[in-house]
């Protein structure tokens, strides 16, 4: 579910692909620059949806060349996510010489069906999304990958199109994978929080793109950049944006190189040093501002992050505040300060990874805080994947760069992380075809890693960086191989989700309209904490509380699991029973976990883990608890 696809991309070749399954009912819907021949044994379905969009946003005209009234992708986003999830192997893939190597999707042998529900204007209609999910269910898909969503405030589950549509998909055994949102690192910003979907946070990988800045005194500063164009081999004068402010512009605005804040005469031919501010946080805006004034380049100083946000088509380098301040010191000490840039290059293995990306939206869920979100983290920073040439021609251009269309692009976001999980789910579904969406999510969450590649606790980028917790990455960083054999799973029936909606306080009429089924449920808030999720979240622990979970053995028939608790700070935790014995007749067992507060003061969230171990498998679920006194929660300001 995205902006369409560029079918000519090498990622969508059908070499070696078998005939699609006989149960498949999808179609190849024709339109502008897209006909049935663009589908093949890889792209086995393609549809596009415009009626809801035009009813909601007005008529969309493709005459300006910005969009195609067809499944063809004018944006690039849908092509990127599709190739990440399912793309065929492509040799010598690169973005303007960077990140060069072999690219392939997570499940390259999977079939791909495209449902274009979002358009180049940025609009996605709820009606179109529901129609697309309806069609996808009818067509016979196994997984829905949806790198889309709306920022808070979150709509109720009975009003949200993606929650409604995904409920019906999950009820029919279709896994739905969604992005967590890009408004981190702030708490309560996570989106797509329905318990029946998989919500994916973004993490970094151990690849970076260093660019060296050489000063006139031969000292160097290292930043990151995607620029590989011309005009880098000579020194240029460098000035601080605040020192060349336009008339009647304050120094703060000019210091961040906001649009129309710099003196055009003083900026021409120079490299401008810009500092991120509270009001201007974008390296792209700074670069556009300097480009319009015919500046030579930009150095953008900002908070530390692995995500490269500088544009690729103009000489710009991203540095942290420390490096930016050292440049200011050099400029103050030099009569004629000058700098030159080196070409950006690709370096692998020198970045500590994975870390949770700064932009990745954080929990707890603002709609249902008893449901831990996000669920899992996957790579989402500077990800190389296929792109739409039509989109590349519209990107920022400059005299230094010949902007020929490109077929691969580096991009960042939880939108990029989501299809990583979608591809992994496809692999798990292929090996365990009878597993439910809840079982697959459980396998991913309970086997995820809390460590980086050196065995240290995962770090979450932020202000400041900190040790990652479940609100950053749910169960942790995905470990696909371990998920193949999780040992135990926490399964959920669709009817349990209906009871969850009742426990949320929605009335029977609204629930009936959403689910189209009648499920007798007790309207008890206890159900919120007892929903059989692969996590335990108690947003309001007063004194003592007991929750229950049921696990299903999917490992060796005769297995004995022993509980181990890493208790959240200030909480006593006990498990009953603490030994689970499975055999040929006992495949499911229920256990209870009791929490008692040791503290008599209002507490923040604290985190722990519950483990079940049999000597082979380590089945871990995150535990999140907040102590509440006198039924009152004080918001932290």
Provide the pLDDT confidence category of residue 635 given band limits of 50, 70 and 90.
Answer: very low
% of the chain residues with pLDDT over 90: 85
Q: Residue 388 catalytic?
A: no
> Which among 383, 565, 373, 568 is positioned nearest to 473, based on CA atoms?
373
Closest of 530, 526, 536 to residue 563, by C-alpha: 536
Q: Which domains are present in the chain?
A: 10-203+358-444 (3.40.50.200), 210-345 (3.50.30.30), 493-531 (no CATH), 532-636 (2.60.40.2310)
Q: Can 2 be counted among the known catalytic residues?
A: yes
Query: What string of DSSP letters covers 276-292?
Result: --SS---HHHHHHHHHH
b/e per residue 170-209 (b: at least 16 CB within 10 A): bbeebbbbbbbbbbbbeebbbbbbbbbbbbbbbbbbbbbb
CB atoms within 10 A of CB 477: 24
* Model confidence at 371: pLDDT above 90: yes
What token pair was written down for 231?
């005009």
| pLDDT at 388 > cutoff 50 | yes
Q: Residue 469: which of 326, 604, 297 has the closest Cα?
A: 604
pLDDT in the model for residue 47:
98
Burial class (CB in 10 A: 0-12, 13-18, 19+), 49: buried
Mean per-residue pLDDT, 84-113: 97
The residues, ordered by sequence, that sit 6+ positions from 353 with a Cβ below 8 Å of its Cβ are: 203, 204, 205, 206, 452, 453
Going by C-alpha positions, the residue among 213, 391, 199 that lies closest to residue 298 is: 213
- Give the 3-state secondary structure of residue 169: helix
Distance, CA of 597 to CA of 363 (rounded, Å): 22
Per-residue DSSP letter, 66: S
The yes-or-no answer on residue 415 being catalytic is yes
**Catalytic entry in 11, 225, 316, 415:** 415
pLDDT at 637: 36
Q: Which pLDDT score is estimated for 630?
A: 62
| pLDDT at 535 > cutoff 80 | yes
| pTM of the model as a whole | 0.95
User: From CA 571, how far away is CA 594, in angstroms rounded?
Assistant: 10
Give the 3-state DSSP-derived string for 22-37, with helices as H, strands as E and coil as C.
CCCCCCECCECCECHH
Q: What's the 3-state SS for 253-275?
A: HHHCCCCCCECHHHHCCCEEEEE
Sheet holding 175-179, edge to edge: 143-146, 175-179, 198-203, 376-379
> Stretch 364-368: mean pLDDT, rounded?
97
Grouping H, G, I as helix, E, B as strand and the rest as coil, residue 294 is: coil
> Which region among 339-343, 401-405, 448-452, 599-603 has the lowest average model confidence (pLDDT)?
401-405
Mean confidence (pLDDT) of the chain: 93
Residue 14 has what DSSP assignment? -
Token representation of residue 228: 């590989």
338 pLDDT above the threshold of 60: yes
Query: Which tokens sit at 448?
Result: 């995820």
Q: What is the pLDDT of residues 154-208, one digit of tens each?
A: 999 999 999 999 999 999 999 999 999 999 999 999 999 999 999 999 999 999 9
Local structure of 300: helix, strand or coil: strand
pLDDT for 508 beyond 70: yes
**DSSP string over 302-332:** ES--S---S-SSS-EEEEEHHHHHHHHHHHH
Instruction: Give, in order, the Cα–Cα distances in Å from 589 to each of 499, 519, 559, 561, 618.
Output: 21, 24, 12, 11, 17
pLDDT digits (tens, 9 = 90+) for 579-600: 999 999 999 999 999 999 987 6
Measuring CA to CA, how many Å separate 255 from each of 245, 250, 324?
Answer: 8, 9, 12
Print the SS3 string covering 447-505.
Answer: CCECECCCCCECEECCCCCEECCHHHHCCCECCHHHHCCCCEECCCCHHHHHHHHHHCC
Q: How large is the angle between the packed helices 161-171 and 494-503, nearest 10 degrees?
A: 150
pLDDT tens, position by position, 17-65 = 988 899 999 999 999 999 999 999 999 999 999 999 999 999 988 765 6
Q: Which of 77, 80, 236, 432 is catalytic?
A: 77
Q: Which residues on neighbouring strands pair with residue 208, listed in sequence order?
A: 347
Pick the range with the lowest mean pLDDT from 400-414, 594-608, 621-635. 621-635
Residue 397: is its pLDDT beyond 80? no
Report the half-sphere exposure of 183 (CA within 13 A, side-chain side).
13
Closest CA to 376 of 202, 536, 539: 202
The alpha helices in 516-634, defined as continuous H runs, are 526-530
The CA distance from 42 to 24, in Å, is 13
Which residue is catalytic, options 2, 135, 469, 614? Answer: 2
pLDDT for res 393? 63
560: left (phi over 0), alpha (psi -120 to 50) or beta: beta
Strand-pairing partners, residue 575, are 593
Q: What is the CA radius of gyration of the chain?
A: 26
């Amino acid at each position: 579910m995205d902006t369409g696809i560029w079918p000519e991309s090498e990622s969508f070749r059908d070499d070696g692909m078998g005939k699609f399954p006989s149960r498949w009912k999808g179609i190849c819907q024709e339109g502008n620059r897209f006909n049935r021949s663009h589908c093949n044994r890889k792209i086995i379905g393609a549809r596009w949806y415009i009626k809801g969009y035009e009813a909601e946003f007005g008529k969309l005209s493709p005459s300006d060349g910005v969009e195609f009234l067809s499944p063809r992708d004018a944006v690039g986003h849908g092509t990127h996510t599709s190739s990440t999830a399912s793309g065929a192997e492509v040799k010598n893939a690169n973005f303007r010489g960077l990140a060069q190597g072999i690219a392939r999707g997570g499940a390259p042998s999977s079939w791909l069906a495209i449902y274009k529900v979002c358009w180049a204007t940025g609009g996605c209609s709820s009606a179109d999304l529901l129609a697309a999910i309806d069609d996808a269910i009818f067509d016979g898909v196994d997984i829905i990958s949806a790198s889309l969503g709306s920022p808070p405030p979150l709509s109720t589950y009975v009003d949200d199109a993606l929650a409604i549509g995904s409920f019906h998909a999950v009820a029919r055994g279709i896994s739905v994978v969604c992005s967590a949102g890009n408004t981190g690192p702030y708490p309560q910003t996570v989106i797509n929080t329905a318990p029946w979907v998989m919500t994916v946070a973004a993490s970094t990988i151990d690849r970076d793109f260093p660019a060296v800045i050489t000063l006139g005194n031969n000292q160097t500063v290292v930043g990151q950049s995607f620029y590989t164009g011309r005009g880098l081999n000579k020194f240029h004068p460098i000035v601080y944006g605040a020192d060349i402010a336009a008339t009647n512009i304050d120094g703060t605005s000019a210091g961040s190189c906001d649009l129309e804040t710099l003196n055009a005469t003083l900026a021409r031919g120079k490299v401008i040093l810009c500092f991120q501010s509270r009001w201007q946080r974008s390296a792209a805006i700074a670069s556009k501002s300097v480009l319009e004034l015919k500046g030579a380049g930009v150095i953008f100083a900002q908070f530390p992050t692995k995500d490269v946000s500088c544009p690729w088509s103009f000489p710009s380098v991203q540095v942290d505040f420390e490096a930016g301040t050292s440049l200011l010191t050099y400029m103050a000490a030099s009569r004629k300060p000058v700098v030159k840039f080196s070409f950006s290059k690709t370096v692998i293995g020198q970045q500590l990874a994975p870390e949770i990306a700064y932009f990745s939206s954080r929990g707890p869920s603002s709609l249902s805080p008893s449901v831990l979100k996000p669920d899992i983290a996957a790579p989402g920073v500077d990800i190389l994947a296929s792109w739409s040439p039509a989109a590349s021609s519209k990107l920022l251009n400059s005299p230094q760069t010949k902007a020929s269309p490109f077929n691969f692009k580096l991009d960042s976001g939880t939108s990029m992380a989501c299809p990583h999980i979608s591809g992994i789910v496809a692999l798990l579904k292929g090996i365990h075809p009878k597993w439910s969406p809840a079982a697959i999510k459980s396998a991913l969450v309970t086997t995820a890693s809390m460590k980086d590649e050196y065995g240290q606790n995962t770090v979450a980028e932020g202000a400041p960086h900190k040790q990652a917790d479940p609100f950053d990455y749910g169960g942790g960083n995905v470990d696909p191989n371990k998920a193949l054999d999780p040992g135990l799973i926490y399964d959920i029936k669709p009817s349990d989700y209906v009871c969850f909606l009742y426990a949320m306080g929605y009335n029977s009429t609204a629930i009936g309209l959403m689910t189209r089924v009648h499920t007798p449920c007790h309207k008890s808030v206890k159900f919120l904490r007892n929903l059989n999720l692969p996590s335990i979240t108690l947003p309001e622990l007063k004194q003592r509380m007991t929750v229950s979970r049921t696990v299903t053995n999917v490992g060796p028939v005769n297995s004995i699991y022993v509980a181990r608790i890493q208790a959240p700070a200030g909480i006593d935790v006990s498990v009953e029973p603490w030994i689970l014995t499975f055999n040929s007749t006992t495949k499911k067992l229920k256990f209870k976990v009791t929490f008692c507060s040791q503290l008599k003061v209002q507490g923040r969230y604290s985190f722990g883990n519950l483990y079940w171990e049999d000597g082979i498998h380590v089945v871990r679920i995150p535990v999140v608890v907040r102590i509440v006194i006198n039924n009152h929660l004080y918001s932290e300001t």
